[in-house]
Homo-oligomer: A and B are copies of this chain.
């Protein structure tokens, strides 16, 4: 008996049959005596289809109106789900973002949730209704519809869970949970039973697409336990929770990789104060996010500056860099799209030393050259040649004792 928030993604509600399956799962949770609030995404493909439609109107469609358009996706699924549950004999009611009082800032297409006035949801729960809330959407202070960006339904779910003090926020998805590595390239990868918010944050920012980063930030801030699990079967998935004492006993919780970055180097840049921002400002002014940055001092007054960007920003970033190089009289601009970033993540690093050297040694043993390194308190990332990605992930997975059966 508890208060459960369940979030189902687009694949789980992709057609009427799947909606019926999800409805049965919701009903089962309800029948066990729980109060249930459900957050839904749009049917898979619908959001892309709507974006495509707006793209035929304008290369830069008005963002306020794009939000109005996109919000129809979740509106459709919550209505269909409520209908389905009612047809099954349950009391259910849909709420759109503004009806659920999900108040956001006014940044169209990437709004952030400011506040959730939970009264309408809790009123419905008190009458033992199943409440079906449209994910991904909210409203700003003036009542304009806003959306929360890709994966925003995760954040809707966690935020609602926080607002109504839910006992658990279940995120149903098409994977079984969080793995120690991508099972597609590492067949010894294991599903984690528990993972700390901070670890999940690092993994999400490294490209593990299971949860939107902001949803994890929200969960951490309000200590909402997230249960990432499959919508296709009933097995337990992975709990994302506050750091626990025994978590530190494990040095590394997971190995991740990201092939979606490219590297740009400006060689022989005159080494003077402010040169890094002189190079990187035009990049960020173009809306391009820079991930890793490394500056090597060369002999004399020259330096090399290397940074990585997402692959689909690579061409634009190269063009800007060539222009900047000309202006600051750098010698040349080198680009490399054939790179990958492999990382080890674990709160255990805080108390264990030697993680970095073990990582470097493992890669060296396989003759994998390290091109760049960056670290956080609980993560070490190395950029390597792309072709070594799978080998690197498997070697690190073994080296840090993560292989299944160990």
Interface residue ranges, A against B (CB under 8 Å): 16, 50, 53-54, 56-58, 61-62, 64-66, 68-69, 71-72, 75-76, 78-80, 82-84, 86-87, 93-94, 96, 98-99, 143-145
Contacts and interface: CB of A to CB of B under 8 A. Distances in A.
A69 B58 contact: no
Contacts of A68: 75, 78-79, 82, 94, 96
Contact of A58 (B57, B76, B83, B145): B83
A84 to B, nearest CB: 5
Given A75-B68, A75-B71, A99-B143, A58 B80 contact: no
Contacts of A98: 98, 143
Nearest to A50: B76
A79 to B, nearest CB: 4
Contacts of A72: 72, 75-76, 79
Contacts of A61: 83, 87
A93 to B, nearest CB: 7
Contacts of A65: 79-80, 82-83, 86, 93-94
A144 to B, nearest CB: 8
A72 B86 CA distance: 20
Given A72-B72, A99-B143, A143-B99, A82 B94 contact: no
B80 A64 contact: no
A16 B79 contact: no
B54 A80 contact: yes
Among A69, A78, A83, A145, the most chain B Cβ lie within 10 Å of the Cβ of: A83
B93 A64 contact: yes
A33 B99 CA distance: 37
A77 to B, nearest CB: 10
B62 A86 contact: yes
Contacts of A145: 96
Given A16-B53, A56-B16, A57-B16, A69 B80 contact: yes
B94 A79 contact: no
A76 B83 contact: no
A66 B238 CA distance: 36
Contacts of A80: 53-54, 57, 65, 69
Nearest to A68: B79
Which 8 pairs across A and B sit closest by C-beta, in order of nearness? Answer: A69-B79, A68-B79, A72-B72, A58-B87, A62-B86, A65-B82, A65-B79, A65-B83
A137 B86 CA distance: 23
A145 B96 CA distance: 10
Contacts of A94: 65, 68
Nearest to A16: B56
